[in-house]
Structure 1
Amino acid sequence: MTTIYFVRHAQPDFTVHDDATRPLSNQGKEDCQKLIAFFHQIPIDLMFSSPFKRAYDTIWPLAQSRNTIITTIDDLRERKVSDTWLTDFPTFAYRQWQDFSFKLEHGESLAEVQSRSIRVMSTLLTDYSEKTLLIGTHGTALSTIINYYDQKFGFAEFNAIKAMMPWIVKMSFDGNHCVNIESFTLNRNQAFTTYAIFD
């Protein structure tokens, strides 16, 4: 069995519009420290991340606590919306989930994001079979991965998790076949609890 923990980044500083360099907010920096406690008794063999700052910085304290190297993979980056800041994101997100091929000029469709993400998954599952991996990731990119393995995950589920930061998703694989998906989110007591992706 191969286990992959995806960690969607903690709360970012939305005043920074550059997607690649957007940092964590002060709250985000506090919340990512809680990952150390969550993973305290969970062995992790390797850690990977999107190259985007908010994803990398979210898992950095955990990696530092274990003296573990984080390997960045460019194809784990978040979906590119366009070359300009989008003000009406909910409408755009809805259109993309209704049509996986829909994209703005100079942007990416969900189909394109899913394709590159699953290529990475296939490589990791082949190269690190029977290992436990952790991946620093993003809301949309992670959602397309979940959708690939379980197509019940759609816009409603994506919309439900949009404010969950950080958000942990655990996937278990038998070879390349995903046999189980679990997720965890911070509750009001600032501790991670199980969150049901599907009703």
Structure 2
Amino acid sequence: MEKRIYLVRHCQAEGQPPESQLTVEGIKQAEELATFLSLFKVDRIISSPYLRAVETIKPFSQKTMIEIETDERLAERLLSVSSMPDWFEKLKMTFSDMELKYEGGESSKEAMDRIVQVVNEWIGSDAQSSVIVTHGNLMALLLNFYNQTFGFDEWQQLSNPDVFRLYFKNNEVHFDRIWEKNY
């Protein structure tokens, strides 16, 4: 049997800080996401510790009685500790230069390594089909790790929430987007 990860980007949130909650719309999205994910057999939930990620998966966790495990390595990437009015352009540059690093932040390569480490540990576990909840930038970097054509433009196309299915078969990783905005 092939192993599967349902990679989830959090629902609509009030902001970027770790303590940002879901919006009213985000809470509704989390309920819809719980219904959607219930279509799949899941044995484990691993989430970013950020409140918006935990709140995203909480309805599914309650519905399935699967405990939410948090992992700091799934936290949002810090682009810089300095305010960057042109952050969008700066972020775009980090997709073409994976080693580019701004003051106090982490490079795309460093952030990618974090989430790849979580996935590799999961692959080595007994789990067969799990949900991993993270943030858009980290999600895009993981997908880029497995397919380098997934870059900045694809990151821009992600929705809140979003779900990709990663499946591991014969030492190969494949993925597809399974979430539709109006599920």
Q: TM-score, normalised by structure 2?
A: 0.93
Q: CA deviation at 1:176?
A: 4.4
- Name the counterpart of 1:40: 38
Q: CA deviation at 1:21?
A: 1.2
- Name the counterpart of 1:171: 166
* Counterpart-to-counterpart distance in 1, 2:171 and 2:74: 18
Paired residues of 1:125 and 1:175 also in contact (CA < 8 A): no
- Name the counterpart of 2:150: 153
* Counterpart-to-counterpart distance in 2, 1:98 and 1:185: 28
* Counterpart-to-counterpart distance in 2, 1:85 and 1:54: 22
- Name the counterpart of 1:81: 79
- Name the counterpart of 1:195: none
- Name the counterpart of 2:122: 124
Q: How does 1:1-40 map to 2 (within 5 A)?
A: 1-14=2-15, 17-18=16-17, 20-40=18-38
- Name the counterpart of 1:135: 132
- Deviation string, structure 1 residues 15-72 (Cα, Å, up to 9, x no partner): xx52x21211111111111012212331110111011111111001110111110001
Please list every run of at least 4 consecutive aligned residues from structure 1 whose deviation after the TM superposition is greater than 4 angstroms.
Answer: none
- Name the counterpart of 2:65: 67
Give the number of aligned pairs. Answer: 182
- Deviation larger for 4-13 or 73-82: 73-82
Paired residues of 1:50 and 1:77 also in contact (CA < 8 A): yes
Task: Give the RMSD, CA atoms, in angstroms.
Answer: 1.5
Flag the 1:100–1:69 CA change in 2: closer, same or farther, 3 A: same
The SS at the match of 1:7 is strand
- Name the counterpart of 1:185: 180
Counterpart residue type for residue 13 of structure 2: P
* Counterpart-to-counterpart distance in 1, 2:82 and 2:22: 21
In the alignment, structure 2 segments of 5+ residues that lack a partner are none
Counterpart residue type for residue 173 of structure 1: F
Flag the 1:30–1:118 CA change in 2: closer, same or farther, 3 A: same
Q: CA deviation at 1:185?
A: 2.8
- Deviation string, structure 1 residues 131-171 (Cα, Å, up to 9, x no partner): 1000111100011100011111011111222xx10001111
Counterpart residue type for residue 155 of structure 2: F
